[in-house]
Each structure stands twice: as C-alpha cells, then as structure tokens.
Amino acid sequence: MAYFFLLVHLVMVVVFSMLLDKKTSLSKNLAMYFGFVLVGVVFGVVTSLMSSQDVRQFLNPIGTGIADWFYNNWDPALHDPTSQRDPIIPWIMRYPQNYIFASVLAYALLGTLIWVSSAINRLDPTRRLMHAVPDFDDLDDEDESEPQPQSEASPE
C-alpha cells in the first residue's frame, strides 16, 4: 500500500510541474524540479503533523526513513549509555521538523537528478550525431529502381 502513496507522490509532482510550467515562465525542467521540491514540502508538512509512526511510514516512506536515519545517527552519544555527555541534536534534526527537512532533501535530490540527466541528454554530442546519420536503406532502393547505364562495349 505504500507503493500507492509513492504513485500519488509522482502524480503530484507531474501536476505541480504542469501548473508551474503554465503559470510561470520557468522551463519545463525547472518546473519539474520545483514540482519535486513542492511535493517534498507538502508531504514533509503532512508527515510532521501525523502522530502515529505507522501512518508516517505509510504516507511518506522516503521522507520518514531518511528522517529517522538522520535522528538516530546524528550523535553517537544518543545510543551510548556509557557516554559522559548529553547528546547534542540541532533543532532541525529533531522531530517533527526533521520530517519536513528530510522530505524536501529527498525530493530535491530526485528532482536534481532528473534535471541534470535531462541537461546532459540535451548537451550529449552523440545524440546530435544519431539524428544526423543518413538513412542508407533509402539510397539502396533508389539505386535499384533507376536503370543502369550500359557501356558502349557491351553487346545488345
């Protein structure tokens, strides 16, 4: 069922991207990037408002997983009972704001990957070369349909 919500996340990215593309003067790639960031903000805020960990995992599995990992691994003194100091966790790494930060980070990274891959595809010189290669099959057909000139030495 969590896969259903990941599908909802992607649909929301597409909807936000289309709305940003029509309402602003952004390019399609930047609109897609900001669509990812907006979905990260929306699902991060919604996840931070949920009280149950099961609902959080169900609603936003990517953001919840990253937020829990950040919180649990930020300071080793958090899980060490022999440590002589109190764990130090910054405000942004504490719950519930950690869910917003982690969701925005995850979706911004996904948007960045898609944006960079489309930019590389646009700048790829082999892509331009592939469109410039002539179609040799059509040349062979044209040669066969034309009559071959006969030389003067050949008997008729």
Supply the mean pLDDT for the chain.
Answer: 82
Domain, as residue range, for 34: 2-123
State the Cα angle at 5 between 99 and 23, rounded to 5°: 80
Domain-located, residue 155: no
Domain-located, residue 89: yes
Query: pTM for this structure?
Result: 0.70
Per residue in 72-101, pLDDT tens? 888 887 778 888 888 888 888 888 999 999
Total number of domains constituting the chain: 1
Domain-located, residue 131: no
Domain-located, residue 92: yes
Domain-located, residue 43: yes
Cα separations in angstroms, 21 against 34, 112, 139, 148: 10, 17, 43, 57
Domain-located, residue 73: yes
The total of other beta-carbon atoms located within 10 Å of residue 33's CB is 25
Domain-located, residue 130: no
